[in-house]
Structure 1
Amino acid sequence: MKKFFAIIYILTSLLFATDTIAQHQEISEKPTVWKEKSNEKIDSTSILNAFKNGHFSGHFRYFFMNTNNEKGVSDYYSNALGGGVKFETAKFHNFQFGVSGYYIFNIGSSDFTEKDPITNAPNRYELALFDIQNPSNKDNLSRLEELYLKYNYKNSNITLGKQLLNTSFINLQDGRMRPTEVDGIWVDFNEIKKTKINVGYLYGISPRSTLKYFKVGESIGIYPTGVNPDGTKSGYAGNLDSNGIYIIGIQNESVKNLKTLLWNQYAENLFNSVLFQMDYTYDLNPNSKLLFGFQTIYQNALDFGGNEDQSKTYFQKNGNSQTFGGRFGWKNSTLELTLNYNRITAKGRYLMPREWGRDPFYTFMPRERNEGFGDVNALMTKIQYTNPKKTFKSHLAVGYFDLPDVKNVALNKYGLPSYVQTNADIRYEFQGLLKGFDVQLLYVHKFNVGETYNNKNYVFNKTNMSTTNFILNFNF
């Protein structure tokens, strides 16, 4: 009964509250989960007035997900309903305080405690709407998200505490009920013309689909861990030690139509990753332009990669990896067409904790990743339409992902065969009476094109499957 009244409360709030939120954000964008408004012009004369002039934001979401697997193995569905609020004070001597929390209800889903009887594997997608650490948890799904103190200086700011970030390696991810969050100190420096500099030290992570914050080492291994390069089960979960993550990012747009991006992420005692990216637009006429992009990433292990015992380490000692990719496309005011390529060399596995964020590759498609693999060739094309009022957006994407053989464990961490993936995505932002609501329908199908040796473990929740996602958001 208590759960019933809580659901009624959320639904009632939806009817009487008023900006919208997209299900997926590009990792180059600032987080807009709460759609909060800025109170930059207010600098109160007292702490009390700073709180009185503060701003509340709210976000409610309904999420239906359904996965249909190959005949003979299990299918799943889920219905999730959630709501939360955020409060940020007005400025007081350039300082601001912010706090947010969220609650999720499982209002009718498959039994996630039951594993597939053929493969003995658990659910992959639907459980991630709730608490992946406790599949039986249906109604105790509350989460403290943000809790920070921010200091503003001209166009820049520094934030200390629990907060939202979008970087190439640590980001909100592609969306379930709630995003990945971080705990640490973050500097957003914007005092140099056409240059943005970010510097941060992170000591805590709250991964998407979990309910609490973890130390950096503890956060790795909450999601499935796959196998070691020798084929034994990865043993790094709970066995990694790190003092934190040091990040620096520089974005420059001083050359006309050219955006250059450089990120370096140093995960102490684990590994270091460097990303360099250039995106250039060439104006064909006032209404259309060509798009060009290049990206490369280099990684290397630090010390023993997290643990002296190599059966319990994350990044093998002396290990490294290299990726590079490109993009070519065309766009006008309503249409965008791109052809994207990414190569992970056979030098080693590209490794980035899935708990921290999604792939930064041009070829990334929601509901699958290429993290954990080496010797990969990925090709993806995408066409996107946005109406002139920016209220309707749709895209169709098709990708071919050539991966190492599933038995090549040195370069295939998760036993995923080569596949073709198609995504159809439709989004609409309501106006007028329903302003504040937005809706999204995402359909994904993955076709197997690799050898699976008649083993369903290489297929279940991986290929020859489809997933349908319907999401309704409301922000005020």
Structure 2
Amino acid sequence: MKSFFSILTSTFLLLISIHSSAQHQEISDKPSIWKEKDDEKIDSTSILNAFKNGNFSGHFRYFFMGTNNESGLSDYYANAIGGGVKFETAKYHNFQFGVSGYYIYDIGSSDFSKKDPVTNLSNRYEVALFDFQNVSSKGNLSRLEELYLKYNYKNSNVTLGKQLLNTSFINLQDGRMRPTEVDGIWIDFNELKKTKINVGFLYGISPRSTMKYFRVGESIGIYPTGVNPDGTKSDYAGNLDSDGIYIVGIQNESIKNLKTLLWNQYAENIFNSALFQMDYKYDLNPNSKLLFGFQTIYQNALNFGGNEDQSKTYFEKNGNSQTFGGRIGWQNKKIEITLNYNRITAKGRYLMPREWGRDPFYTFMARERNEGFGDVNAVMTKIQYTNPKKTFKSHLAVGYFDLPDVKNAAMNKYGLPSYVQTNADFRYQFQGLLKGFDAQLLYVHKFNVGETYANKNYIFNKTNMSNINFILNFNF
């Protein structure tokens, strides 16, 4: 198998020398990392025929990322290339088997083992293209991604094993080389008209930028952990106990133009999160609509929040948090304009392991999060254009994020000052001779607008910085 992947990767390198959208998907979308075919397969007469009539999918990616920090602080860059394949059998008595794997190579990057001499802090963004747990590794990073057995019933299915998921709290967050994956059982029930129900139990997580699967408790703390509410360094990495995550999701569109979403995520022994969201489209005329949205999230600790020793727990005992947000906007067939707001109350920090997924807020902007904070006001406006053939898409977004003071540890887990962020994103899907290729250019700049007490630790890789990304994919 290793030699097979090596051949595929070598082939991709040759393709890149001739010609070379990152898969930033909305978390409400069905995962489509591999772009595999959706053709219905007729039940084979034998297991052998199920394998012979199966479907191979391939994905190759080149990723350049560079970060330019404030003058006097370290800058970074990375070039990553990778490739992999997925195989899924045809149906055999409604059963299907699937497996996928991926290889990543560093083809020219900064030395991520060197810390910034001014702050003594490490690289934040580029290292995540590779193995976050082994920053010196330069190539031949292999990863088993999916390994599952699926049973199909009418429009529904049950999947057991390693798989891809997109939910409000656990999702692909795939703005690097490979996405977050999960291990468990997942039910996708679609037998009720205009209603989708998901039920799952997850016992393993393979976070983005790692090479293996971890038990649920082990998966929390692989990324930087920040500080406890009392200001001491968080020490929950490797110290959390959980049997798994229970998830229930319901999406209903029975009322015309109204989508209602409810998710509840129960991380056993650690915390519970519940989300309610409504999105409504009002028809102005056949070509344009007004957009309205409302969202609220409530969280509370379970037992001791993961560990009886509160210096080693994830969610403070008896802790809770509340967020709410909204959006208004307008769209036609080419343009969508939205004004978005989110409030995290001062009741407590909004906490969701960054290893599991990105924020579900209307105000989310790529390359930063508001997880780990309380008492936040965020406003973001975005204009998006899609050409009629849907081969080109672009958006410009500007957001203002009013955060607690960097020294307010109870409400500011990561010491991030208030900031203004701008994102410019351009994506193109090639046609004709280059069909199968797609490209993305993402430029991000963050301006500091908060007090930093002349401490560069509150600036480095956080504000007064820019981040540029060029991604080229080939799917077959």
- Using the size of structure 1 for normalisation, the TM-score is 0.97
Match of 2:90 in 1: 90
- Rounded Cα–Cα distance in structure 2 between residues aligned with 1:48 and 1:14: 36
- Rounded Cα–Cα distance in structure 1 between residues aligned with 2:140 and 2:471: 22
1:103-252 superposed matches below 5 A: 103-252=103-252
SS in 2 for 1:427: strand
Q: Which amino acid aligns with 2:47?
A: I
Residue 175 of structure 1, CA deviation: 1.4
Residue 38 of structure 1, CA deviation: 2.5
Match of 2:440 in 1: 440
- Rounded Cα–Cα distance in structure 2 between residues aligned with 1:103 and 1:96: 24
- Rounded Cα–Cα distance in structure 2 between residues aligned with 1:21 and 1:112: 26
SS in 2 for 1:217: helix
Listed one character per residue, the Cα deviations across residues 56-75 of structure 1 (whole Å, up to 9, x for unaligned) are: 00000000000000011100
- Rounded Cα–Cα distance in structure 2 between residues aligned with 1:155 and 1:172: 23
- Rounded Cα–Cα distance in structure 2 between residues aligned with 1:473 and 1:38: 20
Residue 321 of structure 1, CA deviation: 0.1
For the pair 1:256 / 2:256, whether they are aligned, the reply is yes
Match of 2:358 in 1: 358
Residue 39 of structure 1, CA deviation: 3.9
- More moved, 3-12 vs 245-254: 3-12
- Rounded Cα–Cα distance in structure 1 between residues aligned with 2:441 and 2:99: 31
Question: Would you say the 8 A contact 1:174–1:358 is kept in 2?
Answer: no
Match of 1:461 in 2: 461
Question: Would you say the 8 A contact 2:264–2:275 is kept in 1?
Answer: yes
SS in 1 for 2:44: coil
Question: Would you say the 8 A contact 1:78–1:108 is kept in 2?
Answer: yes
Q: Which amino acid aligns with 1:76?
A: Y
SS in 1 for 2:124: coil
1:419-430 superposed matches below 5 A: 419-430=419-430
- Rounded Cα–Cα distance in structure 2 between residues aligned with 1:286 and 1:239: 56
Residue 21 of structure 1, CA deviation: 5.8
Match of 1:99 in 2: 99
Listed one character per residue, the Cα deviations across residues 145-173 of structure 1 (whole Å, up to 9, x for unaligned) are: 00000000000000000000000000000
For the pair 1:314 / 2:314, whether they are aligned, the reply is yes
Question: Would you say the 8 A contact 1:174–1:366 is kept in 2?
Answer: no
Q: Which amino acid aligns with 1:239?
A: N
- Rounded Cα–Cα distance in structure 1 between residues aligned with 2:164 and 2:375: 33
Residue 475 of structure 1, CA deviation: 0.1
Listed one character per residue, the Cα deviations across residues 202-235 of structure 1 (whole Å, up to 9, x for unaligned) are: 0000000000000000000000000000000000
Question: Would you say the 8 A contact 2:22–2:175 is kept in 1?
Answer: no
For the pair 1:73 / 2:73, whether they are aligned, the reply is yes
- Rounded Cα–Cα distance in structure 2 between residues aligned with 1:173 and 1:241: 24
Percent identity between matched residues is 85
Question: Would you say the 8 A contact 1:180–1:205 is kept in 2?
Answer: yes
1:386-425 superposed matches below 5 A: 386-425=386-425
Residue 42 of structure 1, CA deviation: 1.6
- Rounded Cα–Cα distance in structure 1 between residues aligned with 2:174 and 2:37: 23
Match of 2:272 in 1: 272
- Rounded Cα–Cα distance in structure 2 between residues aligned with 1:13 and 1:97: 30
Question: Would you say the 8 A contact 2:21–2:439 is kept in 1?
Answer: no
- More moved, 252-261 vs 31-40: 31-40
- Rounded Cα–Cα distance in structure 2 between residues aligned with 1:467 and 1:400: 18
For the pair 1:346 / 2:346, whether they are aligned, the reply is yes
- Rounded Cα–Cα distance in structure 2 between residues aligned with 1:104 and 1:219: 21
Query: Structure 2 stretches of 5 or more lacking a match?
Result: none
Q: Which amino acid aligns with 1:107?
A: I
Question: Would you say the 8 A contact 1:65–1:126 is kept in 2?
Answer: yes
Listed one character per residue, the Cα deviations across residues 41-85 of structure 1 (whole Å, up to 9, x for unaligned) are: 321010000000000000000000000000111000000000000
Question: Would you say the 8 A contact 2:174–2:180 is kept in 1?
Answer: no
- Rounded Cα–Cα distance in structure 2 between residues aligned with 1:256 and 1:96: 35
Query: Structure 1 stretches of 5 or more lacking a match?
Result: none
Q: Which amino acid aligns with 2:184?
A: G
Question: Would you say the 8 A contact 1:441–1:470 is kept in 2?
Answer: yes
- Rounded Cα–Cα distance in structure 2 between residues aligned with 1:234 and 1:352: 15
- Rounded Cα–Cα distance in structure 2 between residues aligned with 1:48 and 1:41: 14
Listed one character per residue, the Cα deviations across residues 403-461 of structure 1 (whole Å, up to 9, x for unaligned) are: 00000000000000000000000000000000000000000000000000000000000
Q: Structure 1 50/14 Cα, relative in aligned 2: closer, same or farther at 3 Å?
A: farther
Residue 10 of structure 1, CA deviation: 2.5
- Rounded Cα–Cα distance in structure 2 between residues aligned with 1:182 and 1:42: 28
Q: Which amino acid aligns with 1:280?
A: Y
Q: Structure 1 152/266 Cα, relative in aligned 2: closer, same or farther at 3 Å?
A: same
Q: Structure 1 174/375 Cα, relative in aligned 2: closer, same or farther at 3 Å?
A: farther
Q: Which amino acid aligns with 2:428?
A: Y
- Rounded Cα–Cα distance in structure 2 between residues aligned with 1:36 and 1:465: 37
- Rounded Cα–Cα distance in structure 1 between residues aligned with 2:165 and 2:76: 31
- Rounded Cα–Cα distance in structure 2 between residues aligned with 1:338 and 1:37: 33
- Rounded Cα–Cα distance in structure 1 between residues aligned with 2:9 and 2:252: 46
Residue 23 of structure 1, CA deviation: 2.4
Question: Would you say the 8 A contact 2:391–2:430 is kept in 1?
Answer: yes
Listed one character per residue, the Cα deviations across residues 307-332 of structure 1 (whole Å, up to 9, x for unaligned) are: 00000000000000000000000000
Q: Structure 1 115/175 Cα, relative in aligned 2: closer, same or farther at 3 Å?
A: same
Match of 2:328 in 1: 328
Q: Which amino acid aligns with 1:468?
A: I
Listed one character per residue, the Cα deviations across residues 323-375 of structure 1 (whole Å, up to 9, x for unaligned) are: 00000000000000000000000000000000000000000000000000000
Q: Which amino acid aligns with 2:361?
A: F
Residue 397 of structure 1, CA deviation: 0.1
- Rounded Cα–Cα distance in structure 1 between residues aligned with 2:344 and 2:440: 32
Question: Would you say the 8 A contact 2:141–2:211 is kept in 1?
Answer: yes
For the pair 1:29 / 2:39, whether they are aligned, the reply is no
Q: Which amino acid aligns with 1:130?
A: F
Match of 2:450 in 1: 450
- Rounded Cα–Cα distance in structure 2 between residues aligned with 1:198 and 1:5: 38
- Rounded Cα–Cα distance in structure 2 between residues aligned with 1:16 and 1:94: 42
Q: Structure 1 6/252 Cα, relative in aligned 2: closer, same or farther at 3 Å?
A: closer
- Rounded Cα–Cα distance in structure 1 between residues aligned with 2:464 and 2:24: 24
RMSD over equivalenced CA pairs, Å: 1.7
- Rounded Cα–Cα distance in structure 1 between residues aligned with 2:34 and 2:352: 27
Match of 1:385 in 2: 385
Q: Which amino acid aligns with 1:241?
A: D
